[in-house]
Amino acid sequence: MTNPSAGAGGPWAVPGVPVVPLEPVVPVEAMAPRLPLLDCLSDSCRAPLQTPAPCSSRPPIHGRLPRMSDPTPLLEVIAVDADDARAAVAGGADRLELVSEMRYAGFAPSVEAFEAIRAAVTVPLRVMIRRREGFSAGGVQGVAELVHTAEALRRAGAEEFVLGWLDPDGTVDLEAVRAVLDALGGAKWTFHKAIDATNQRDAVYDAVRTLPGLDTVLSSGGFPASGDGVDVLRAESERERGLGGPRILVGGGLAQEALPSLRAAGLDAFHVGTAVRADGTWDSPVEAEKVAEWRKLLG
């Protein structure tokens, strides 16, 4: 990974794809007051990471935790606030992915949003670590901001995460990924849909398979609609099981009509967003009834 200093957007810029502008590189220690998403900037916030309280010590709010021995397929729902979270869990979601903005496929939530959702539900929360469109980490400045974001959310009690970046050649940006993983201290995480933005899928799996904490890869098989990627997803899932690799979480253009073929292919984890929202758009809230339909179909 190199510092993208030549040309607007650097070598990671893609024509026609919006890029969140970044300010000139500044020392990491001077960045704290410059990041509006993160208000966790007190001296106590900068103290060494503390082990988050176990779920058993949190209020007994509605929700069920998936068990390793549970044959029921995993259902993960995207949530942007506490209302989304409560509706998703009421409908039967096993886990939530937390984001702040879905115009560009999801950015990191604020510490305050995470804390509000954590107080509202007890299911596992996978928190997005992402600050720009596309799957470039953003060079030296971008990586520093990602690490800052990860540290603040970890201190706030986040235990699981979603992340993943690519170099210009389509391989994993291991420098960026490892920098963020160092801040997460071995927490569980999902490699994001960056894998669907490259034609080097096998190389991506080889690069991330043994990274600390990785247990999931979110993918549609490289197709706009997950149902069209069933053959790719089947092959990758079987291979990863044999290698002790990550679980495949099917997501991206996922429709209920595709579930029978995906389940028959051995896939057992599913990720939904607009499919469970009132108007089928990001501008409408999650509806418990729609989540319940997916839960019923999955068992």
CB 212 within 8 A of CB 185: no
Query: Which sequence spans correspond to the domains of the chain?
Result: 69-298
What are the backbone angles phi and psi of residue 193, rounded to the nearest 5°? -70, 15
Which tens digit of pLDDT belongs to each residue from 225-274?
999 999 999 999 999 999 999 999 999 999 999 999 999 999 999 999 99
Report DSSP state, residue 79. Answer: E
pLDDT of residue 71: 66
What is the amino acid identity at position 69? S
The reported pTM is 0.77
Which tens digit of pLDDT belongs to each residue from 44-67?
333 444 444 443 333 333 333 333
Exposure string of 94-114, with b = 16+ CB inside 10 Å and e = fewer, is: bbbbbbbebeebbbbbbbebb
Mean pLDDT, residues 103-112: 88
Q: Which residues contact 204 (CB under 8 A, 6 or more apart)?
A: 171, 172, 191, 194, 195, 198
pLDDT of residue 16: 52
Which tens digit of pLDDT belongs to each residue from 123-140?
999 999 999 999 999 999
The helix (run of H) or strand (run of E) holding residue 130 is: none
pLDDT band at 104 (very low <50, low <70, confident <90, very high): confident
The answer to whether residue 198 scores a pLDDT higher than 80 is yes
Architecture of domain 69-298: Alpha-Beta Barrel (3.20)
